[in-house]
């Protein structure tokens, strides 16, 4: 068994979806296909939950109606009349679920409300693609992954109960595979023990694919993207990029830790633990060799790997009485970040201050400032970026930082990180 993961770009239009058929045709059976929401749908759903949580339920419902119509139009383009009728009836269940989530949205439970709304994108896209594959003669059965992946209730970044989920994966998906069929399901989402929907963090579909492969003893995972393979930098930000033919699990988890968007940070562990190779291939040209990610890569000579995280905030907490930052202070500060579920992308402490670079999340940032402000003087720099270069050279570092103000810098033998504005 192998797992295929398709992101939103691969199904952004009906023509893109049609172009995937040769990939399904050539796949070694059986396949578990993990598919994201249609391109830009998650952003549209975020607009809906933001409107709903601000109290403008009417605007949220208008945006939802627009999104529903877009999915119906997409399905009508892809499906014949009979399949479209069945698919539209199936999607109506989730249109209704979306309306309920809007009605229930509350600003004081933003993360919970977010997950109840945003999960709908994956459910709608996978229903359409499943009906399309069945129409074209491919034996794929649709599964609601929320019936399989059990998580905790840390909404927007849920942790999977692997033991329970593996049992369910074998009961639900394993049974379908044993019957000689293939499975199509959602990435990015799961459910709590109380059946509340959760998300696994942005780009979490990669993680879902890795979990499926590990829990069902798959022999490979392939992530289909719109680039030729794993690149040393985001091609949307850098004109000249280099494809990496083979890379180790260790190197990729370092890249993911520093914020590279190519692979979800949690993806590598279940693959490495089960020695399952991960392939990154191009759905636009499946003949390209792509990239293989595996346990060891002999004679690896990696190019400088560049990660550019925008929309960052640099927060500085300084003791009010000029006392030293001690282990007790650090413990208290870490507890605040942990309680608010705020990931620190870069940190540094000096004699009387602690500095952290974090993603700009206003809903959590204000709470962070308030809690730190009880015992510390707090300053913040807005609109900064975090640049990370693995396997850096002085020349590359100079080129990427020239004409920029460096607010914070850290170097190790292999990695340099700077906060710039």
pLDDT tens digits for range 182-195: 999 999 999 999 99
Characterize the bridge pairing of strands 344-349 and 353-359: antiparallel
Asked whether the predicted pLDDT for residue 215 surpasses 90, the reply is yes
243's enclosing H/E stretch is: strand 243-244
Q: What is the pLDDT of residues 155-167, one digit of tens each?
A: 999 999 999 999 9
Assess if residue 113 is contained within a domain.
Answer: yes
CATH of the domain at 336: 3.30.2130.10
pLDDT band at 260 (very low <50, low <70, confident <90, very high): confident
Same domain? 41 vs 143:
yes
For residues 264 and 209, the answer to whether their CB atoms sit within 8 Å is: no
In a domain, residue 66? The reply is yes
Residue 212 falls inside a structural domain:
yes
Mean of the pLDDT values across residues 201-228?
A: 93
Specify the pTM: 0.86
Give, in degrees to the nearest 5, the angle at Cα 94 between 44 and 200: 60
323 and 407 part of one domain = yes
Degrees, nearest 5: CA angle 218-224-230: 100
Pair (273, 321) in one structural domain: no
pLDDT recorded at residue 299: 75
Residue 389: give the domain boundaries. Answer: 305-420
* Euclidean distance between CA atoms 128 and 130, whole angstroms: 5
What pLDDT score does 258 carry? 85
Cα separation of 127 and 144, whole Å? Answer: 9
Q: Any idea what the CATH number is for the domain that residue 102 is in?
A: 3.40.1160.10
Indicate the pLDDT class of residue 95, thresholds 50, 70 and 90: very high
Q: For residue 31, tell me if it sits in a domain.
A: yes
Q: In DSSP terms, which residues pair with 221 in a beta bridge? A: 3, 278
pLDDT score for 206: 93
For 29-43, what is each residue's pLDDT tens digit?
A: 899 999 999 999 999
409 token code pair: 């810098």
**Domain shared by 83 and 214, yes or no:** yes
Asked if the structure places residue 33 within a domain, the reply is yes
Instruction: Report residue 248's pLDDT band, with 50, 70 and 90 as the boundaries.
Output: very high
Question: What gap in Å lies between CA 70 and CA 399, rounded to an integer?
Answer: 43
Task: Give the tokens for residue 410.
Answer: 């850290």
- Collapsing DSSP states into helix, strand and coil, what is residue 343? coil
Q: Which residue has the higher pLDDT, 256 or 414?
A: 414
State whether 224 and 341 are in the same domain: no
In 3D, which of 40, 145, 155, 67 has the Cα closest to residue 106?
155
User: Residue 199 pLDDT > 80, yes or no?
Assistant: yes
Tokens of 95: 């249109």
Residue 239 confidence (pLDDT): 87
Is 284 in the same domain as 317?
no
**Judgement on whether residues 231 and 203 belong to the same structural domain of the protein:** yes
Regarding whether 47 and 181 lie in a shared domain, the answer is yes
* pLDDT for residue 65 is more than 90: yes
**Residue that is last in its domain, among 294, 313, 347:** 294
| Residues 168, 206 within the same domain | yes
Same domain as 235, residue 313: no
Specify the pLDDT at position 293: 94
Q: What is the mean pLDDT of residues 231-238?
A: 91
Domain boundary among 253, 275, 294: 294
Number of domains within the chain? 2
Give 264's pLDDT tier (boundaries 50, 70, 90).
confident
Identify whether 300 is part of a domain. no
Say if residue 75 is in the same domain as residue 204: yes
Q: What is the DSSP string of 199-210?
A: E-STTTHHHHHH
Mean pLDDT within 293-303: 87
- The answer on pLDDT for 261 being more than 90 is no
Boundary (domain end) residue, out of 270, 294, 318: 294
Q: What is the DSSP letter of 279?
A: E
Model confidence at 265: pLDDT above 80: no
The β-bridge relationship of strands 31-35 and 2-6 is: parallel
Could you tell me how many residues make up the chain? 421
Give the DSSP letter of residue 172: H
Alpha carbon distance 100, 117 (integer Å): 9
**Residue whose C-alpha is closest to residue 415's, from 397, 398, 403, 402:** 397
Lookup result for tokens 């004081």: 108
Residue 12 located in a structural domain: yes
Inter-helix orientation angle 81-104/57-78, to 10°:
160
Tell me, yes or no, whether 266 and 311 share the same domain: no
* pLDDT tens-digit map of 97-143: 999 999 999 999 999 999 999 999 999 999 999 999 999 999 999 99
| Residue 299, domain member (yes or no) | no
């Amino acid at each position: 068994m192998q797992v295929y993961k398709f992101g939103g770009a691969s199904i952004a239009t009906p023509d893109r979806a049609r172009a995937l058929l040769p990939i399904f045709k050539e796949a070694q059976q059986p396949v578990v296909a993990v598919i994201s929401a249609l391109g830009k749908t998650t952003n549209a759903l975020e607009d809906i939950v933001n409107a709903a949580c601000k109290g403008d339920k009417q605007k949220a419902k208008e945006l939802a109606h627009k999104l529903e119509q877009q999915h119906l139009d997409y399905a009508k383009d892809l499906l014949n009349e009979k399949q479209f009728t069945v698919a539209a009836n199936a999607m109506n269940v989730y249109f209704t679920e979306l309306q309920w989530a809007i009605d229930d949205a509350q600003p004081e439970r933003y993360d919970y409300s977010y997950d109840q709304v945003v999960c709908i994108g994956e459910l709608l896209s996978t229903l359409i693609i499943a009906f399309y594959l069945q129409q074209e003669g491919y034996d794929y059965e649709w599964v609601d992954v929320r019936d399989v992946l059990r998580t905790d209730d840390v909404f927007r970044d849920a942790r999977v109960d692997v033991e329970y989920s593996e049992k369910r994966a074998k009961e639900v998906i394993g049974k379908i595979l044993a019957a000689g069929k293939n499975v199509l399901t959602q990435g990015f989402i799961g459910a709590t023990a109380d059946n509340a929907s959760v998300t696994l963090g942005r780009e979490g579909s990669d993680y879902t694919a890795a979990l499926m492969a590990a829990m069902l003893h798959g022999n490979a995972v392939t992530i289909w993207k719109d680039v030729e393979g794993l690149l040393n930098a985001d091609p949307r930000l850098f004109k000249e990029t280099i494809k990496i033919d083979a890379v180790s699990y260790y190197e990729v988890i370092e890249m993911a830790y520093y914020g590279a968007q190519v692979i979800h940070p949690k993806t590598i562990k279940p693959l490495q633990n089960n020695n399952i190779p991960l392939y990154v291939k191009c759905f636009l040209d499946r003949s390209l060799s792509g990239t293989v990610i595996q346990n060891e890569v002999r004679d690896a000579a990696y190019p400088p790997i560049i990660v550019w995280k925008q929309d960052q905030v640099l927060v500085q907490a300084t003791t009010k009485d000029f006392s030293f930052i001690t282990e007790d202070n650090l413990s208290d500060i870490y507890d605040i970040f942990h309680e608010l579920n705020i990931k620190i992308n870069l940190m540094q402490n000096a004699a009387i201050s602690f500095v952290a670079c974090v993603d700009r999340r206003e809903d959590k940032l204000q709470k962070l400032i308030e809690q730190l402000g009880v015992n510390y003087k707090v300053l913040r720099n807005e609109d900064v970026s975090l640049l990370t270069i693995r396997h850096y050279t002085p020349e590359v570092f100079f080129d990427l930082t020239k004409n920029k103000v460096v607010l914070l810098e850290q170097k190790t033998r292999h990695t340099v990180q700077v906060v710039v504005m």
